[in-house]
């Protein structure tokens, strides 16, 4: 008969226990899951990346509604359990009673709030769940806001780094003499402090908080020595306390946590407990790895199988992008202990190994943690290292004289070596999963769970995939920008905005570029992202541009260029045509009429470019930007001025659009058209933005294509006036400028984000106006004619003339 | 024996950019890296003759603007799967002046 299992708390501990249970015996229990948070199980370890803006909440959900439904779990979220009636075997909530055969308490822990004066003022929060994270994100949104984080441990520093990335002025107040004193020694603590200080975080160590002051809300923190630190937000991250209230009230044995035996059973044989709320052999828990071990044992106990929880060594990593640190084991100084230390101050690398009796006891690493899991394996296994002591600190790649191959470190690991610390998955476990058919990182996460929690071992897991599958393994999903980085375009764009990176060296340094100064793939993309996001602060770099954009002309296969003046809306005059004809004759150009309603002059040598530009400038023409990732042309028909079918002045609107948009840089080229009636002579229905005039106004279509792909535009909106048509078109292009991946035409970008999202954003009038305003700011810098930039003869020469002309015959 | 001739000053070349030296036996592209090192290659990609002086300079290499072949300044060899090699020339900086060795050029037959 199916038993009733009631679970209190939908966190990572109970979530893992349920996964284990459903995997081993689907349908053995009818599960009811209570949670006081109004949501299900998400990956709490990943709140830091959510805070810093590197991930979204949706990306860290572990169990969604569909998962609960699939496993028949009745979810009672936002409904706290008030008490347990052990005699009648029911749990009581505000909505009534629920009977159980077996009960699991997984209520987790609460942040410890220091009861100092002012701790209850608005603006004092802990850092524990999504609600706290959202409060912090909200506080960071007001310009110039200040935050103080009390506690310089793992959680406090992740909070501080996240708030700083969100633009807040952040101070950390820490009681001990150096940061993360439980995981780091002083030297590593110093490097960490230095790195955080360089990011603009103020660190106060050996500092004791006295009181929080403020009238009606937080205004600052006062220290024992009298120092005052102004703050709009105070985050307490000084530790956690097991949530034992519901167990204690039910009369279970409770010490610091709810006491459990090796089978995760409490003092009541029908009540089990798991996670941060428990106490096992006098120890309480705060890291995920031992808790996942416990969850496995709990699932077995529920199924009547024998297993026993045994504590293991744990390793720690800090999830602050750019601060690589790792610590494991015991690294205090002591009798008979020896240190091996390696420092590289230039790179900010510090490694220290603590040895005793030819065994590794502990490891602390900062700046380069790639070998962490190998050292951790040596610590756990108590391996005798006397043979490799000389080269031990250089890691596995140097043992046995193998060449330095990125795969070597992983290849050298034995099958028992732990790869995923969170889930306790060994290299052998991953290989077993791969051989059973898990051939990408998603499948690995779904089966053996490696890299499914904090994700820091993803690279290692991919290497195991690579080693096991050989050439069959293709590095998955998010395609990196290029070989210089593992980040995708989308990630780079988000980090440039979130971390306010305003120069290319800042991007290379802060995002850990693997090359010195990028390559021909990433440089133009990064240059575009920076100038689009920071038009006033960033200086466009011609040396990061493809030749056409640097030389303001299209290079042809013979190394000559083509020159194309703008013809607004496809309109020209006899005077312009005469000037074009004369220039063509003077420079021996081939003349071609283009599909974009203008005239192309082909075969111009580079040194002649400034001269022909000047001729065309003098006749009143400007560059047509036929070579840019920017606005190309606005094609029009003659419209109501001449055509007997024309409904509106399509030529006039086309000219207005072109005058508004020309000169702007975009992720890829942008072509527009305006047709005066639905007969559509300007072919507006295959453009990036195409307007069709009708009697009642203007139909604006977007995301068309007529190149490698052919695609009809989709209707964005119908508007009544020219002004609205221009406002909507501009807002669409600015939204595309701010969000699209470099070299995605609008139709590709819209396919990724969805036209519904675009419509939703643009239908907000205030947002439309804000997009137009930001476009204006960018145009104030970039709407200039590059042809007119070379004013003097001198400038023209140094731009296009040879550096020197050498007469070899004379030199000989 | 090298034959050095002066071709200009370091400041004439943009950082991560290039300028061209014209000779009767072909053009030479003279590059300046982020570290102010200078290098010289024939200004014609061995693949389809693209002007390497118009390529993007990154690290110790340049990418041809026509078909993205990447040439190493030190060896003149294409990186990756491509096998072309472009001729290199010695270039040095003396008191801020750029000196190009034309020995290799002089040995070429006039086309």
Identify the closest residue of chain A to B66 by CA–CA distance.
Answer: A557
Identify the closest residue of chain A to B22 by CA–CA distance.
Answer: A805
> Are the C-beta atoms of A255 and A279 separated by less than 8 Å?
yes
List CB contacts of A303: < 8 A, sequence separation 6 or more: A21, A24, A25, A28
Q: Is the pLDDT of residue A275 over 90?
A: yes
Task: Show me where the domains of chain A are located.
Answer: 3-109+242-302, 113-238, 489-545, 624-784
pLDDT classification of A456: cutoffs 50, 70, 90 = low
pLDDT classification of A475: cutoffs 50, 70, 90 = low
Check residue A606 and report its DSSP letter. G
Picking from A551, A559, A808, the nearest residue to B106 by CB comes out as A808
pLDDT classification of A476: cutoffs 50, 70, 90 = low
CA distance A600 to A590: 8
Beta carbons of B100 and A557 less than 8 Å apart: no
Q: Beta-strand (E) ranges in A48-207? A: 74-77, 81-85, 90-93, 96-99, 102-105, 109-111, 124-126, 146-150, 169-173, 202-204
Higher pLDDT, A368 or A64: A64
Could you confirm whether domain B4-101 is CATH 2.102.10.10?
Answer: yes
Chain B residues whose CB is inside 8 A of the A547 CB are 51, 54-55, 65
Higher pLDDT, B25 or A318: B25
Lowest-pLDDT choice from A126-140, A706-720, B7-21: A126-140
User: What average pLDDT score do residues A490-506 get?
Assistant: 85
Beta carbons of B102 and A806 less than 8 Å apart: yes
Chain A residues whose CB is inside 8 A of the B15 CB are 543
Bridge partners (DSSP) of residue B92 are: B99
Mutate which of B29, B38, B65, B67 to disrupt the A interface (most A C-beta within 10 Å)? B65
Task: Show me where the domains of chain B are located.
Answer: 4-101
Chain B residues whose CB is inside 8 A of the A549 CB are none
Q: Is the pLDDT of residue A404 over 60?
A: no
Picking from B12, B25, B68, the nearest residue to A520 by CB comes out as B68
pLDDT value, residue A455: 62
> Are the C-beta atoms of A529 and A492 separated by less than 8 Å?
yes
- Chain A residues contacting B via beta carbons under 8 Å: 515-520, 523-524, 542-547, 550-551, 555, 557-559, 798, 802-809, 811-812
Could you report the per-residue pLDDT of A328-363, keeping only the tens digit for each? 877 766 677 787 877 776 677 888 888 888 888 888
- State the smallest CA–CA distance between residue B30 and chain A in angstroms: 9
CA distance A426 to A446: 15
CATH class of domain segment(s) A113-238: alpha beta
Beta carbons of A559 and B19 less than 8 Å apart: no
User: What average pLDDT score do residues A307-327 get?
Assistant: 76
CA distance A679 to A584: 35
Interface of B with A in 22-41 (CB under 8 A): 22-25, 27, 30, 34
Beta carbons of A804 and B13 less than 8 Å apart: no
Just give the CATH number of A3-109+242-302.
3.50.50.60
How many angstroms from the chain centroid is the CA of residue A697? Answer: 42
Chain B residues whose CB is inside 8 A of the A806 CB are 5, 7, 21-23, 100, 102, 105
Tokens coding A150: 């009390």
Beta carbons of B59 and A520 less than 8 Å apart: no
List CB contacts of A134: < 8 A, sequence separation 6 or more: none
Beta carbons of A809 and B17 less than 8 Å apart: no
Lowest-pLDDT choice from A387-401, A582-596, A615-629, B92-106: A387-401
Chain B residues whose CB is inside 8 A of the A551 CB are 54
Place of tokens 């071992």: A457
pLDDT value, residue A769: 96
* Architecture of the domain whose range is A624-784: 2-Layer Sandwich (3.30)
DSSP one-letter string for A747-776: HHHHHHH-HHHHHHHHTSHHHHHHHHHHHH
Beta carbons of A809 and B24 less than 8 Å apart: yes
pLDDT classification of B30: cutoffs 50, 70, 90 = very high
CA distance A312 to A672: 64
Beta carbons of A798 and B34 less than 8 Å apart: no
- State the smallest CA–CA distance between residue B103 and chain A in angstroms: 9
Identify the closest residue of chain A to B4 by CA–CA distance.
Answer: A811
The separation between the first and the last C-alpha atoms of chain B, rounded to the nearest angstrom, is 24
pLDDT value, residue A402: 41
Picking from A519, A555, A806, the nearest residue to B58 by CB comes out as A519
- State the smallest CA–CA distance between residue B51 and chain A in angstroms: 7
Interface A-B, measured as beta-carbon pairs within 8 A, has a size of: 98
Lowest-pLDDT choice from A244-253, A516-525, B101-110: B101-110
pLDDT classification of A321: cutoffs 50, 70, 90 = low
Beta carbons of B12 and A811 less than 8 Å apart: no
Chain A residues whose CB is inside 8 A of the B54 CB are 547, 550-551, 555
Q: Is the pLDDT of residue A669 over 70?
A: yes
- State the smallest CA–CA distance between residue B83 and chain A in angstroms: 19
- The strand order across the sheet containing A561-563 reads A554-555, A561-563, A599-604, A590-593
pLDDT value, residue A403: 39
Chain B residues whose CB is inside 8 A of the A802 CB are 19-22, 27
Identify the closest residue of chain B to A545 by CA–CA distance.
Answer: B56
Could you report the per-residue pLDDT of A366-401, keeping only the tens digit for each? 888 888 888 888 888 888 888 888 778 887 766 654
pLDDT value, residue A486: 83
Instruction: For chain A, say whether B19 makes contact (Cβ under 8 Å).
Output: yes
CA distance A365 to A113: 31
CA distance A20 to A275: 15
- State the smallest CA–CA distance between residue B41 and chain A in angstroms: 14
Tokens coding A713: 């535009």
Give this prediction's pTM: 0.54
Could you report the per-residue pLDDT of A521-574, keeping only the tens digit for each? 999 999 999 999 999 989 999 999 999 999 999 999 888 999 999 999 999 999
Beta carbons of B57 and A809 less than 8 Å apart: no
Beta carbons of B58 and A523 less than 8 Å apart: yes
Picking from A543, A550, A802, the nearest residue to B22 by CB comes out as A802
| Helix A755-762 and helix A722-739, axial crossing angle in degrees, nearest 10 | 120
- Do the domains spanning A3-109+242-302 and A113-238 agree at the CATH topology level? yes
């Amino acid at each position: 008969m199916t038993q009733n299992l009631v679970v209190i708390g939908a966190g990572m501990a109970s979530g893992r226990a349920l996964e284990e249970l459903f995997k081993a015996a689907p349908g053995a229990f009818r599960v009811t899951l209570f949670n006081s948070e109004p949501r299900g199980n998400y990956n709490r370890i990943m709140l830091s990346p959510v805070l810093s803006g590197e991930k979204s909440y949706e990306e860290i959900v572990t169990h969604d509604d569909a998962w609960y439904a699939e496993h028949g779990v009745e979810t009672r979220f936002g409904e706290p359990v008030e008490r347990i009636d052990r005699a009648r075997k029911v749990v009581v909530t505000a909505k009534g009673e629920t009977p159980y055969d077996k009960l699991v308490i997984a209520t987790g822990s609460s942040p410890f709030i220091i009861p100092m004066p002012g701790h209850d003022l608005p603006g004092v929060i802990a850092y524990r769940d999504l609600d706290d994270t959202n409060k912090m994100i909200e506080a960071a949104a007001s310009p110039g806001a200040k935050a103080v984080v009390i506690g310089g441990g793992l959680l406090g520093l992740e909070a501080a780094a996240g708030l700083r990335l969100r633009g807040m002025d952040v101070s950390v107040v820490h009681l001990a003499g150096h940061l993360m004193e439980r995981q780091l020694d002083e030297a590593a603590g110093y490097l960490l402090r230095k790195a955080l200080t360089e990011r603009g975080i103020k660190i106060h160590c050996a500092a004791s908080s006295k009181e929080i002051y403020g009238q009606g809300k937080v205004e600052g923190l006062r220290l024992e020595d009298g120092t005052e630190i102004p703050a709009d937000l105070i985050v307490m991250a000084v530790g956690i306390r097991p949530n034992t209230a519901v167990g204690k009230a039910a009369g279970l044995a409770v010490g610091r946590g709810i006491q459990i035996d090796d089978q995760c059973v409490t003092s009541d044989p029908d009540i089990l407990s798991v996670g941060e709320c428990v106490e096992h052999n006098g120890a309480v828990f705060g890291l995920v790895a031992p808790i996942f071990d416990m969850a496995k044992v709990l699932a077995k106990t529920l199924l009547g199988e024998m297993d026993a929880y045994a504590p293991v060594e744990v390793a720690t990593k800090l999830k602050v992008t750019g601060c690589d640190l790792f610590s494991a084991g015991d690294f205090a100084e002591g009798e008979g202990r020896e240190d091996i230390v390696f420092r590289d101050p230039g790179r900010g690398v510090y490694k220290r190994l603590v040895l005793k009796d030819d065994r590794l006891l502990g490891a602390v690493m900062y700046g380069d943690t790639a070998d962490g899991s190998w050292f951790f394996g040596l610590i756990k296994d108590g391996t005798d290292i006397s043979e490799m002591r000389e080269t031990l600190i250089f890691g596995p790649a140097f043992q046995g004289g193998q060449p330095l191959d990125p795969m070597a470190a992983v290849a050298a690991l034995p099958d028992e070596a732990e790869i995923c610390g969170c889930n306790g998955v060994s290299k052998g476990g991953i290989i077993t999963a791969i051989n059973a058919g898990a051939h990408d990182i998603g499948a690995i996460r779904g089966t053996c769970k490696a890299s499914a929690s904090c994700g820091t071992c993803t690279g290692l897991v991919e290497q195991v995939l690579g080693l096991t599958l050989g050439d069959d393994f293709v590095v998955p999903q998010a395609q990196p920008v290029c070989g210089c980085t593992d980040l995708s375009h989308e990630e780079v764009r988000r980090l440039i905005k979130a971390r306010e990176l305003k120069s290319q060296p800042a991007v290379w340094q802060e995002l850990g570029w693997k090359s010195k100064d990028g390559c021909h793939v990433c440089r133009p993309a990064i240059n575009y992202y920076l100038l689009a996001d920071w038009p006033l602060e960033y200086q466009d770099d011609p040396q990061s541009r493809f030749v056409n954009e640097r030389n303001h002309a299209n290079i042809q296969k013979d190394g000559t260029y083509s020159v194309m003046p703008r013809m607004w809306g496809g309109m020209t005059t006899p005077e312009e045509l005469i000037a074009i004809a004369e220039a063509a004759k003077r420079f021996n150009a081939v003349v071609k009429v283009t599909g974009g309603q203008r005239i192309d002059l082909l075969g111009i040598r580079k040194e002649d470019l400034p001269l022909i530009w000047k001729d065309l400038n003098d006749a009143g023409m400007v560059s047509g930007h036929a070579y840019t990732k920017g606005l190309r042309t606005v094609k029009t028909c003659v419209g109501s001025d001449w055509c007997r079918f024309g409904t509106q002045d399509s030529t006039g609107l086309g000219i207005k659009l072109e005058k508004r948009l020309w000169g702007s840089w975009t992720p890829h080229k942008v072509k527009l058209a305006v047709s005066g009636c639905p007969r559509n002579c300007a072919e507006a229905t295959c453009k990036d933005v195409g307007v069709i005039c009708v009697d009642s106004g203007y139909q604006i279509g977007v995301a068309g294509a007529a190149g490698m792909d052919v695609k009809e535009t989709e209707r964005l909106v119908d508007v009544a006036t020219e002004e609205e048509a221009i406002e909507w078109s501009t807002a669409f292009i600015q939204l595309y400028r701010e969000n699209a991946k470099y070299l995605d035409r609008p139709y590709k970008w819209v396919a990724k984000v969805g036209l519904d999202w675009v419509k939703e954003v643009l239908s907000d009038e205030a947002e439309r106006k804000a997009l137009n305003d930001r476009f204006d700011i960018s145009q104030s810098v970039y709407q200039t004619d590059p042809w007119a930039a070379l004013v003097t003869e001198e400038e023209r020469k140094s731009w296009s003339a040879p550096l020197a002309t050498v007469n070899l015959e004379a030199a000989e | 024996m090298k034959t050095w001739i002066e071709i200009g000053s370091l400041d004439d070349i943009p950082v991560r950019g290039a300028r061209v030296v014209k000779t009767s036996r072909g053009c030479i592209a003279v590059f300046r890296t982020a570290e102010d090192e200078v290098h010289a290659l024939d200004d014609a990609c061995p693949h389809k003759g693209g002007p390497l002086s118009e390529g993007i300079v990154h690290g110790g290499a340049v990418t041809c603007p026509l078909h993205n072949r990447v040439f190493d300044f030190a060896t003149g060899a294409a990186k990756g799967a491509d096998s072309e090699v472009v001729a290199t020339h010695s270039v040095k900086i003396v008191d801020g002046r750029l000196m190009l060795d034309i020995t290799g050029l002089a040995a070429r037959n006039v086309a």
